[in-house]
Amino acid sequence: MSVTAVFTVEGMSCGHCERTVSTELAAIDGVTEVAARAKAGRVTVVSERALDDTVVRSAVDGAGFTLVGRV
């Protein structure tokens, strides 16, 4: 079973930003897929289990961006 969550991320503006955020989120244990869309400021994360927002926030912050919240 997989769980899909969509997050709003502030500060993404280009393909490089998308790749940076995607790389950080993909490193979270259990994440199987990440799709970032800079223009929309959205990131879709598919994981093996529900993700805690603090884990996602830490990864997004580590990429240099700001997690606004879940959509």
Can you give the pLDDT at residue 43? 98
Can you give the pLDDT at residue 3? 97
pLDDT tens for 39-55 read 999 999 999 999 999 99
d(CA 38, CA 52): 22
Can you give the pLDDT at residue 1? 85
21, 45 Cβ separation under 8 angstroms? no
pLDDT tens for 7-24 read 999 999 999 999 999 999
Instruction: Report the percentage of the chain scoring pLDDT > 90.
Output: 99
Q: What is the mean pLDDT of the chain?
A: 96
In the chain, the N- to C-terminal Cα span, in Å, equals 21
